[in-house]
Chains A and B, each alone.
Chain A
Amino acid sequence: MAEAARVLVIGATSAIAQAVARTYARRGARLVLVGRDASKLEAVRADLVARGAAQADVKVADLSRVEAHPDLVDAAAAALGGIDVALVAHGVLPDQARSQASFEDARRTLDVNFTSAASLAHELANRFETARHGTIAVIGSVAGDRGRQSNYVYGAAKGALAIYLQGLRHRLHGTGVKVLTIKPGFVDTPMTAAFPKGPLWATPEKVARGIVRAIDRGTSGEIYVPGFWRVIMAIIRAVPERLFVRTKL
């Protein structure tokens, strides 16, 4: 299954998704790329074909339109003749201050980062369950591990998503369908361009290597990439609430 896989990449212009897709392209995989911006998708498509992808189709879609998801997944499956791996990588990093000022803003974050991702996981899960085959890999975040004043709206969406996927994994246990929750820490991407970078930051390529390794191994579970975030988040989760509220985290 590592060779010539059929891969659906949702949010294909994100830095992490591009890096994952390149690994599959090098292996001669067939890909369907979904994103919002046609010109960026075309740049990604051309790159993957040049790197050896046997097929790379582009589908422009507004992923916040949940009602269009069933057709989107069906079209991708038809283009590829079935799906081995689906990576759900779209998302937005909201400005916490704006979300605090307006719940409308917070709701958009929840719609994209939770509702839309969960809806796609749902559509994929039902089809994969019938086929008794496929890996659903979804990008979550370490931010979903504990509510913190600095970005709890984003964290709430990613935390809810992790629980949704946990339930899906439980439901699909024994069907051969894998559900992988990926929790990257700080990743140096356009989404985080405004942040000062330090030693905890990882490149999208490093995160992608961790993702592909887990998919290749058939992991069904949660992974932290890079792995040291498992330890950091265990500590952060363990801090008692009455102490935690005094921190600036």
Chain B
Amino acid sequence: MSADRLSWGRFPRERAARVHSLHWPAEPLPRDASILARGCGSSYGDSCLNAGGTLVDTTRLDRLVAFDRGAGVVRCEAGVTLEALLEVIVPAGWFLPVTPGTRRVTVGGAVANDVHGKNHHRAGTFGAHVSALGLARSDGSRSVIAPGSDPARFAATVGGLGLTGLITWVELALRPLVSSSLDVETVRFHGVDEFLALSSESAERFEHTVAWVDTTARGAGFARGLFMRANHAPRPGPLTARARSRRLSIPFDFPAFALSRPTVRAFNALHFGLGRAGRGTAHLEPFFYPLDAIGSWNRMYGRRGFVQHQSVVPMAPAREAVTALLEAITASGEASFLSVLKVFGDRPSPGMLSFPRPGVTLALDFPMRGERTLALLDRLDAIVMEAGGAIYPAKDARMSRETFRRSFPRLGEFVPHVDPAFSSSFWRRVHG
């Protein structure tokens, strides 16, 4: 079977020696020397790659195990995608407790990366809603791990980048829903101060907040953006997982000039100019998953792929650090296509290697243009480290060992939980 499976960023282009599919929850793991669970491959960098090793495809572990429609608790195999789960739970009046910006991830992947969403300031991370999970280790053992029964292994596995064994199933507490609509408000802001003021003013009143920021504008437009805040509609309405919508797909790699700095600047200016401030309602599908409507949007970045950079800095130095990050980008001549700012809340993340922590997070994506792109990302890392922050492994393809170590102070506690047969390109790069 083809081992040509890339990550979402399509950089680096590393190949596994083989791909082994699991079809049944009780099936044994392959006895290869180096294995890594692989779901949808939606991590951006190399945390879902295992160059020269084996990828264990979990996407056929796609069965539900139990769904308590009264209590809103679902247990499912690890390869169930959020997309498939939503098709079942939304019509029954439930929603994911936390959702990332795409449905094309598996539940196992969501746990292994302890993903977050627009409601982090209220709900914390995905892992905070996991009540139990199944773990298969290379020694043949199978265990049920719950935060109460095995706190250390649970904390190692949630956010553990798939390194503590293979997650076979997950039990998740859902959030009730009376309608698939959200009441959404969009507010324009100019500058980091205004963003921070909007965030603190909105945190109490809105379940979901996120901001898009223009990283290409200089001068008076510096750090301008659109702040979106929303609540699930309290009025009973239709419960559908999908809006009636058309789907686009990018069928081929765009040429390199498609996302050059001038086109990205133009796009960002247009996005800001056309972004209407005001109130409205939106279906949950376009609200939470706008990019899912464009299949393979990663191919816009051409064959060389793209790199993401997501950082978090603590609240105290956030104003200066975020300003410094944005200044470094505008000064570099590189252009981030979609840049997202969000204030994380105080709810503790359950994993030893969980990325979210109180502070401000900035997510960026750059077309991969070799050394100059990497040099900028190193400068951004330096600013983040200086502020006592962290870089997100799920989006990383290039951070240094030192940056990784400083991002995750509980690394020493995590390492003994790593299964000796499990590894990834990412893990060998930052630790192995």
The answer to whether B65 touches A46, judged by C-beta atoms less than 8 angstroms apart, is: yes
In the assembled complex, the Cα of A5 lies from the Cα of B63 at a distance in Å of 21
A133 within 8 A of B: no
CA distance A49 to B68 in the complex (A): 10
Stretch at the interface among A37-45, A158-166, A222-230, A231-239: A37-45
Out of A51, A190, A193, A196, name the residue touching B88 (CB < 8 Å): A51
**Listed residue (B1, B25, B64, B76) with the most chain A CB atoms within 10 angstroms of its CB:** B64
Contact call B74/A50, Cβ cutoff below 8 A: yes
The B44-88 residues at the A interface (CB cut-off 8 A) are 60, 63-67, 74, 76, 88
Tell whether B23 is near chain A: CB-to-CB under 8 Å. Answer: yes
Question: Taking the complex as formed, is B197 at the interface, i.e. its CB lies under 8 A from any CB of chain A?
Answer: no
B1→A193 contact, CB < 8 A: yes
Q: Are B26 and A39 in contact (CB under 8 A)?
A: yes
Q: CA separation between A193 and B76, bound complex, in Å?
A: 23
User: Cβ of A197 and Cβ of B64 under 8 Å apart?
Assistant: no
**Cβ-neighbour of A190 out of B23, B63, B65, B74 (below 8 A):** B23
A57 cross-chain contacts in B, Cβ below 8 A: none
When distances are taken between beta carbons in the complex, the residues of chain A under 8 Å from B24 are 39-40, 43
Q: Is A47 an interface residue (CB 8 A)?
A: yes
Q: Which A residue's beta carbon lies closest to that of B62?
A: A47
CB atoms of B1 and A47 under 8 A apart: no
Chain A residues 66-112 with CB under 8 Å of chain B are none
B1 touches A46 (CB 8 A): no
Residues of B211-247 whose CB lies within 8 A of A:
none
Residues of chain B lying within 8 A (CB to CB) of residue A47: 63-65
| CB pair A196 B2 closer than 8 Å | yes
Find out whether the CB atom of B23 lies under 8 angstroms from the CB atom of A50: no
Task: Scan A194-207; emit 1 where CB is below 8 A from any B CB, else 0.
Answer: 00110000000000
Smallest CB gap from A45: residue in B: B63
Interface flag for B21 (CB, 8 Å): yes
Q: A46-B63, A50-B88 are in contact. Are A197 and B74 (CB under 8 A)?
A: no
The answer to whether A197 and B1 have CB atoms under 8 Å apart is yes
Tell me the number of A-to-B contacts counted with CB atoms below 8 Å: 40
Find residues 109-141 in chain B having any chain A CB closer than 8 Å to their own CB.
Answer: none
A40 / chain B contacts, CB cutoff of 8 Å: 24
Contact A193/B64 with A39-B26, A50-B88 known, Cβ cut-off 8 Å: no
Closest A residue to B61 by beta carbon equals A43
Residue numbers in A under 8 Å from B88 (CB-CB): 26, 50-52
Is the pair B1, A50 in contact by a Cβ cutoff of 8 Å? no
Q: A50-B74, A50-B88, A51-B88 are contacts. A193–B63 as well, Cβ < 8 Å? A: no
Q: Would you call the interface of chain A mostly helix, strand, loop, or mixed?
A: helix
When the two chains form their complex, are residues A46 and B64 in contact, meaning their CB atoms are under 8 A apart? yes
**What is the CA–CA distance of A193 and B65 in the complex, to the nearest angstrom?**
24
Interface size of A in residues (CB-CB distance below 8 Å):
17
Instruction: Give the complex CA separation of A40 and B342 in angstroms.
Output: 44
Least Cβ–Cβ distance between A149 and chain B, in angstroms = 24
Bound Cα distance A52, B92 (Å): 10
Instruction: Report how far A47 CA is from B21 CA in the complex, Å.
Output: 19
Q: How far is the CA of A46 from the CA of B76 in the complex (A)?
A: 10
The answer to whether residues A50 and B66 also contact, given A39-B26, A43-B24 and a CB cut-off of 8 A, is: yes
Question: How many angstroms from the CA of A39 to the CA of B25 in the assembled complex?
Answer: 10
Q: How far is the CA of A190 from the CA of B20 in the complex (A)?
A: 11
Contacts of B26 in A (CB 8 A): 39
Cβ contacts under 8 Å, A18 to chain B? 63
Indicate with 1 or 0, residue by residue over B13-52, a CB within 8 angstroms of chain A CB atoms: 0000000010111100000000000000000000000000
Q: Is B63's CB under 8 angstroms from A44's CB?
A: yes
- Alpha-carbon distance between A50 and B66 when the two chains are bound, in angstroms: 5
The answer for the CA separation of A51 and B21 in the assembled complex, in Å, is: 24
In whole angstroms, what is the CA distance A63 to B355 when docked?
Answer: 52
Nearest-neighbor residue (CB-CB) of A44 within chain B: B63
Chain B residue contacts of A44, Cβ below 8 A = 63
Report chain A residues within 8 Å CB of B76: 50
Measured CB to CB, the nearest residue on chain B to A190 is: B23
Q: A43-B25, A190-B23, A193-B21 are in contact. Are A50 and B65 (CB under 8 A)?
A: yes
State how many angstroms separate the Cβ of B239 from the closest Cβ of chain A: 14
Q: Which residue in chain B gives the minimum CB-CB distance to A46?
A: B65
- Quote the shortest CB–CB distance from A26 to chain B (angstroms): 8
Contact among A50, A190, A196 for B64, CB-based, below 8 A: A50
A18–B77 CA distance with the chains assembled, in angstroms: 15
- In the assembled complex, 24 residue pairs joining A and B whose CB atoms fall closer than 8 Å, in A order, are A15-B60, A18-B63, A26-B88, A39-B24, A39-B26, A43-B24, A43-B25, A43-B63, A43-B65, A44-B63, A46-B63, A46-B64, A47-B64, A49-B66, A50-B64, A50-B65, A50-B74, A50-B88, A51-B64, A190-B23, A190-B60, A193-B21, A196-B2, A197-B2
Which residues of A approach B to under 8 Å, CB–CB?
15, 18, 26, 39-40, 43-44, 46-47, 49-52, 190, 193, 196-197
15 further A-B contacts with Cβ under 8 Å, apart from A26-B88, A43-B65, A190-B60, are A15-B23, A18-B63, A43-B24, A44-B63, A46-B64, A47-B63, A50-B64, A50-B66, A50-B67, A51-B67, A51-B88, A190-B21, A193-B1, A193-B21, A196-B2
The 4 nearest A-B residue pairs measured at CB = A50-B64, A47-B63, A50-B67, A190-B23
